Amino acid sequence: MERTFVAIKPDGVKRGLIGKIIERFEDKGYKIVGLKMLHPTCEMATEHYKEHVGKPFYAGLITYITSGPIIAMAIEGQNAVANIRKVLGATKPEEAEMGSIRADFAQTMDFNIIHGADSVLSAEREINIYFQPHEICTNWQNMLEVLTQ
């Protein structure tokens, strides 16, 4: 099993798309093992997007991601990073494959609804920014056994 990080950005939260987006992951068979709504601090945003420091869009990105609450998720499943990125669609909505989240819901690259980690290493780093270890539910099999008894 692989784990990835996904965040519904402030525009997705504001537009009331949380349930529709989460349903896409669950419909594909992925398990959400961490989920919370929070308002990212500048410190969190700076750590999250540190690879973009110095790029022309960096300041706007930090302002945008800290402008309102996000939904932070840790999602688990087979090839989670690559497959979830397909579900998200290309960063530029006009280039996103039909049926992807960005093709269906986003209008511009600046407000593209959702973020997904681009590698296993990035996923681990990003999950650690938004979640404490005890906030990740990893014992699915035992939980299912208890519920079915």
**pLDDT tens per residue, range 48-90:** 999 999 999 999 999 999 999 999 999 999 999 999 999 999 9
Answer whether residue 25 is part of any domain: yes
CA distances from 45 to 62, 65, 68, 118 (A): 6, 7, 12, 16
Please measure the distance between the N-terminal and C-terminal CA atoms of the chain and give it in whole angstroms: 25
State the Cα–Cα distance between residues 13 and 20, nearest whole angstrom. 11
Residue 138 confidence (pLDDT)? 82
State the Cα–Cα distance between residues 63 and 82, nearest whole angstrom. 27
What is the extent of the structural domain holding 73?
Answer: 2-114
* Total tally of structural domains belonging to the chain: 1
**CATH number of the domain that 13 lies in?**
3.30.70.141
State the Cα–Cα distance between residues 83 and 85, nearest whole angstrom. 5
Complete DSSP assignment for 94-123: GGSPTTSHHHHH---STT-SEEE-SSHHHH
Give yes or no for residue 142 having a pLDDT over 70: no
Answer whether residue 145 is part of any domain: no
Name the residue with tokens 């987006």: 21
Residue 72 confidence (pLDDT)? 98
User: 48, 52, 115, 134: which one is catalytic?
Assistant: 115
Answer whether residue 17 is part of any domain: yes
Is residue 134 flagged as an active site residue?
Answer: no
Name the residue with tokens 């208890």: 146
| Cβ pair 72, 130 in contact under 8 A | yes
Answer whether residue 70 is part of any domain: yes
Give yes or no for residue 93 having a pLDDT over 70: yes
| Cβ pair 48, 126 in contact under 8 A | yes
| Cβ pair 71, 35 in contact under 8 A | yes
Answer whether residue 29 is part of any domain: yes
Average pLDDT over the chain, rounded to whole? 93
Name the residue with tokens 């989240």: 101
Residue 69 confidence (pLDDT)? 98
Give yes or no for residue 24 having a pLDDT over 60: yes
Answer whether residue 130 is part of any domain: no
Answer whether residue 90 is part of any domain: yes
Answer whether residue 67 is part of any domain: yes
